[in-house]
């Protein structure tokens, strides 16, 4: 019998999901769910490092859930839940924090950026990678689909599993063939797709909510047009040949098209008498056709939050059922007693 790999990932409820989130994480995660046991969650505790608006946190959490489902995630197979509904994650965060040196967390990009800008990071930002490692390790996950910006966090999660195993088991818990022996914590691998590792935004930098250069996944057709037309291009005159490989419009077009369609568009760029405005219209048509059916499903889900709530609660129970035995293993490994159960001693 071959056992399925377990895929796990999380996304913060901090505003409308954009094309970078979709192609970097959501779409690969949904794809993986066809062959793997899928565990995906809304990282609401992580969002608290910045979010101070309770209504926004609630509605953005629904928005992430609806996006995952509209993108094809089947909630009867995959487990979809809110991170904060499984409190064991905080318990494991503390334990991992006790085997992790300050040097490691001080190397995290987000913490270094805050320092470089002279911003005093809250403790949530400092311990962000530890909570993220707990997310991943609590479910014995094998693969973690993410965009490139999360690779450092994945490395840290692997390091923390190693520290835990070395300090409490006396070895790293893996045999010479790299096979996990079922003790301690399992070390997962990041899965980053080449094409979508870093999706560019309107200004050519990485697409990100915080840069204001994002195109929301479920923008209306009108909003979509406005965003696509705002993509920055160079000033090569219409008649002149253009280089597709340096153009953000072309990079985004690649996300939606076949190799033949890309070759065709590249030839039109190189042939001259083809302006960036034309290329943008090609991109707009592709993106709209790609997202239109999902947009309809998304809107229907967002107007039925009772169903979303049911799915998330059911997911939380299933996630917790997976987390509990891992936590028992961890507690036993470090010398903490099994959790008392009311009535167990009569």
Name the residues that contact ligand ADP, by CB under 6 A. 11-12, 20-21, 24-25, 146-147, 149-150, 196, 198-199, 206-210
Among 128, 44, 53, smallest CA distance to 82 is for: 44
Closest to ligand ADP by CB, 79 vs 132, is: 132
198 binds, among ligand TRP, ligand ADP, none (CB under 5 to 8 A by kind): ligand ADP
Decide if residue 132 touches ligand TRP (CB under 6 A): yes
Decide if residue 37 touches ligand TRP (CB under 6 A): no
Decide if residue 9 touches ligand TRP (CB under 6 A): yes
Contacting residue, 7, 10, 30, 207, with ligand TRP by CB under 6 A: 10
Contacting residue, 6, 7, 11, 60, with ligand TRP by CB under 6 A: 11
- Cβ at position 149, least distance to ligand ADP in Å: 5
- Cβ at position 208, least distance to ligand ADP in Å: 4
257 binds, among ligand ADP, ligand TRP, none (CB under 5 to 8 A by kind): none
Distance CA(321)–CA(317), nearest Å, equals 6
Q: Name the residue number minimizing CB distance to ligand ADP.
A: 24
Closest to ligand TRP by CB, 217 vs 266, is: 217
Closest to ligand TRP by CB, 17 vs 173, is: 17
Distance CA(268)–CA(273), nearest Å, equals 8
Q: Name the residue number minimizing CB distance to ligand TRP.
A: 10
Per the structure block, which two tokens stand in for 326? 């891992």
Neighbours of 1 (CB within 10 A): 2
136 binds, among ligand TRP, ligand ADP, none (CB under 5 to 8 A by kind): ligand TRP
Give me the residue label for tokens 């098209």: 257
């Amino acid at each position: 019998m071959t056992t399925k790999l377990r895929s796990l990932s999380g996304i913060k409820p901090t505003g409308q999901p954009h094309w970078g989130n979709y192609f970097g994480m959501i779409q690969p995660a949904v794809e993986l769910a066809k062959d793997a046991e899928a565990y995906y969650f809304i990282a609401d505790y992580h969002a608290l490092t910045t979010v101070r608006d309770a209504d926004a946190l609630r509605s953005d959490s629904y928005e992430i859930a609806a996006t995952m489902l509209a993108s094809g995630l089947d909630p009867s197979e995959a487990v979809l839940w809110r991170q904060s509904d499984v409190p064991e994650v905080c318990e494991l965060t503390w334990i991992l924090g006790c085997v992790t040196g300050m040097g490691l967390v001080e190397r995290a990009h987000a913490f270094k950026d805050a320092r470089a800008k002279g911003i005093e990071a809250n403790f949530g930002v400092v311990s962000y990678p530890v909570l993220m490692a707990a997310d991943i390790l609590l479910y014995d996950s094998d693969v973690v689909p993410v965009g490139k910006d999360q690779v450092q966090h994945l490395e840290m999660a692997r390091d923390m599993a190693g520290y835990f195993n070395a300090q409490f088991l006396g070895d790293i818990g893996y045999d010479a063939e790299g096979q996990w022996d079922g003790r301690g914590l399992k070390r997962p691998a990041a899965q980053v797709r080449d094409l979508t590792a870093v999706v560019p935004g309107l200004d050519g930098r990485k697409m990100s909510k915080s840069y204001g250069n994002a195109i929301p996944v479920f923008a209306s057709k009108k909003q979509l047009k406005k965003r696509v037309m705002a993509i920055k291009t160079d000033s090569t005159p219409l008649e002149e040949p253009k280089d597709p490989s340096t153009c953000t419009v072309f990079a985004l077009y690649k996300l939606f098209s076949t190799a033949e369609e890309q070759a065709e568009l590249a030839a039109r760029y190189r042939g001259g008498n083809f302006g960036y405005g034309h290329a943008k219209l090609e991109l707009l048509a592709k993106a709209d056709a790609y997202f239109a059916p999902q947009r309809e499903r998304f809107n229907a889900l967002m107007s039925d939050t009772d169903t979303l709530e049911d799915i998330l609660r059911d997911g939380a129970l299933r996630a917790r059922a997976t987390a509990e035995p891992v936590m028992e293993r961890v507690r036993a490994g470090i010398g903490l007693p099994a959790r008392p159960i009311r009535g167990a001693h009569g």
